[in-house]
A and B are shown apart, each in its own frame.
Chain A
Amino acid sequence: MIDPTAVFIGFFIITGIIATVTGLVHSKSLARILTIVFTVMHLLFTTYCWLHLGETALGFFTFDPLGVLLLSILSILTITTVYHGFIYVRNDTPRTYAIYHAALIALVFAMSGAYLANGMTVVWIFVEATTIAVAALIYHDRTPASLEATWKYIFVCSVGIALAYIGILFLGFTVRDARLLHLSFDSISGIARLANPLYLKIAFVFVLIGYSTKMGLFPMHTVTVDAHTVAPAPISAFISTTLMNVGFLAIFRIYALFSATSIFQFMNHVLILSGILSLLISSGYMLKAKHNKRMLAYSSLENMGIVAIALGIGGIGYYAAILHIILHSFSKAGLFYQIGQSYKVMGTYQLDDSGDYMTLYPAGATALLLGLLCITAIPPSGMFISELLLLKAMVQGGQYVYLIITAVLLCFVLYALLTRVLHIVFSHPREAKSLNRQQVNPWQTVTQFILFGLVIFICFVQPYQLRELISNIIKVLPK
């Protein structure tokens, strides 16, 4: 059997070569072939990680359950994103085609590194790397709006990364006497219990604020909303799921690390507050959203808010948080792919100009309705289970105030999404305009049905392996 270190180095080198050749040789067919090779290689790498769960590579990467779970989601969504990307950039020049795919490969690699990193600083480096790759992808369309979104994304993410690093430095102050060479989670966990709680609180708050730029959580959510609105639809699908998962993972890691310390309750309060404010803002903006993609971007904020609340509530809420992350990834990716197709069919992202989608493209309209069902957690959506578990955790914990606030805000979100999507599917456009409408091959919608099918499947059957994996992830947290 090949050593994990050799596999990781091999994966690193081959990815580097593929991304460089793709970016420098401006050939569409070569870029297409190399991207497919990389996608297959990533899938094989994920399979290897599953077979070597718990092992460490290079001393900086561990194939732990949470990392490998998120890596698997990334592998699946890489396949669908690459497929939709091929369609999206079909008519691009060889140069932009090549840059798009090189940046996509770099992004997948950076996210994989962040998922598997076993130390605070290594996670930080890979999170920083994702910013560069994503910037190239957001700017792909070269419009004034994409330039503005790219600038905002880079700027706010850089501030976030700097703040997260300040958090890491404070963590460094707590363990400075131990003279650690590498701030690995394992080496810190024992020392953190003895550390000054005030330092730990400062470290947690800075890390939470810093990585909330990636997770799309309040208070740094605005940047992700803009980026998801402007980026090419397949990239919006990708970054509003897998990249948000990177932010979640970074916050979860430090939460788990400090969960055995005296600041545990403090962290829970901060997470619940951040989650509720995310829900509040997303519900408010979704009610006034006039842009179809922006509406979905706010929906991501809402779902990350739910995850933060679930973590803060604890108990069965931990299970709900992880399950919600998995299901949100599939639901939201499918919805973004579909909203990209709806743009082609209707010629607009503006809500007032959208309509008659069921008549124009029945397969897409059906997928959109199915996606609506999934994301709003209406049975048989698997997200119904995760949200139900969250509410159950609140009842078990006697958190009735949070329960009422969450339920009321979710009602607003449900109303906003239902009225808008149903308008797109069944109503006539509010303003009759001459728009550039194109046909979409119904086969291109199959990926969305598969993703929504997975979410619905989880509502009925939660495989033993999945339950076992989630239990392994959350066993480090207090009961």
Chain B
Amino acid sequence: MVITLIIVFSITLIYLSITERFTVYAGLIGLQGLILFALSLLELRRITLGTLLFVAIETLVFKVIVVPYMLRRIIKKTGQTKVSEHALPGFYSLLFVTVGLLLSIIISLSLKTQLSTLVYFIVSFFSIYTGLFLIISHRKIFSHMVGFLVIENAVLLLSLAIGSEIPMLINIGILLDIFVSVLILGIFVMRLKQHTHELTLLKDD
């Protein structure tokens, strides 16, 4: 079950890197949140019920409901529906993420760990790669934000792999969720709606 969910998660990453519509981004981020919710229920059975409930509810509320809702609100408010026309074409994006997936597998295999942790390593590295790829290859702030949310999901995936041994690491990782949801999405993107194309005021002449 865990392996299946992780494979689905990887597919969402590939789809994220090639899609152009922002509503699809919001949907995929919500789907990733749902997968993470299921994974947290499956992986953290050994920790105390209170912590488990806290992690599960946080994942469900923030990743499945709040973040996708705010993303859709931003799309509606800003009127921005697609990535910049200067963004990398889908074919090349697919090529880049395939290389990223291979690299993630190679690095994870070199870490010589047990299979249950190995799959988490692969998908986490792949998430970090995809998130950074979205940030670097896209121009609009919205894409950058989605890239960051993907990196943030990588953090949760890694913390799930170790969560049974050191639950505190998951609890602290959740701080990152709340930080992102409230601060980045809630305050600044709303204020930045008139500048959602590119940020170019600050540069060296």
Contacts and interface: CB of A to CB of B under 8 A. Distances in A.
B102 interface: no
A232 B88 CA distance: 37
Interface in B134-180: 135, 141, 144-145, 148, 151-152, 154-155, 158-159, 161-162, 165-166, 168-169, 172-173, 175-176, 179-180
Interface centre among B141, B169, B192 (most CB of A within 10 A): B169
Contact of A176 (B154, B165, B183, B195): B165
Given A128-B179, A158-B184, A198-B111, A148 B202 contact: yes
Contact of A166 (B154, B168, B188): B154
A158 B176 CA distance: 8
Nearest to B169: A172
Nearest to A170: B158
Contact of B192 (A151, A169, A176, A290): A151
A172 B179 contact: no
B152 A162 contact: yes
B201 interface: yes
Given A148-B195, A166-B158, A179 B166 contact: yes
B-side interface size class = 35 or more
Nearest to A161: B176
Contact of A148 (B113, B135, B199): B199
B199 A169 contact: no
Contact of B155 (A148, A162, A180): A162
A144 B201 contact: yes
Contacts of B116: none
Nearest to A175: B166
Interface string B176-205: 100110011000100110010001011011
Nearest to B124: A166
A159 B188 contact: no
A230 interface: yes
Contact of B169 (A121, A158, A199): A121
Contacts of A289: 204
A-side interface size class = 35 or more
B128 interface: yes
A113 to B, nearest CB: 14
B110 interface: yes
Contacts of A22: none
Contact of B204 (A125, A155, A294): A294
B151 A169 contact: no
A132 interface: yes
Interface in A175-194: 176-177, 179-183
Given A230-B202, A289-B204, A147 B168 contact: no
Contact of B202 (A124, A145, A161, A202): A145
A218 to B, nearest CB: 15
Contacts of B86: none
Contacts of A166: 124, 128, 154-155, 158
Interface in B101-148: 110-113, 117, 124, 128, 135, 141, 144-145, 148
A177 B199 CA distance: 46
Interface string A246-281: 000000000000000000000000000000000000
A288 B205 CA distance: 8
Given A155-B184, A159-B151, A285 B202 contact: no
A418 interface: no
Interface in A151-166: 151-152, 154-155, 158-159, 161-163, 165-166
Interface of B: prevailing SS: helix
Contacts of A285: 204
A118 interface: no
B155 to A, nearest CB: 5
Contact of B201 (A148, A158, A198, A288): A148
A24 B128 CA distance: 39
Contacts of A144: 195, 201
Contacts of B205: 288, 290
A176 B188 contact: no
Contacts of A180: 166
A154 B161 CA distance: 28
A168 interface: yes
Contacts of A202: 111
B31 to A, nearest CB: 20
A147 B172 CA distance: 29
A412 interface: no
A362 B167 CA distance: 60
30 contacts: A132-B183, A135-B183, A147-B192, A148-B202, A149-B202, A151-B141, A151-B192, A152-B199, A154-B184, A158-B184, A159-B151, A162-B152, A162-B154, A162-B176, A163-B128, A165-B176, A166-B124, A166-B155, A166-B158, A169-B159, A169-B173, A172-B165, A172-B166, A176-B162, A176-B166, A198-B111, A202-B111, A226-B202, A288-B204, A294-B204
A-B pairs, top 9 by smallest CB distance, nearest first, are: A176-B165, A226-B202, A169-B158, A148-B199, A145-B201, A148-B201, A162-B151, A172-B162, A121-B172
Interface of A: 121, 124-125, 128, 132, 135, 144-145, 147-152, 154-155, 158-159, 161-163, 165-166, 168-170, 172-173, 176-177, 179-183, 196, 198-199, 202, 226, 229-230, 285, 288-290, 294
Interface of B: 110-113, 117, 124, 128, 135, 141, 144-145, 148, 151-152, 154-155, 158-159, 161-162, 165-166, 168-169, 172-173, 175-176, 179-180, 183-184, 188, 191-192, 195, 199, 201-202, 204-205
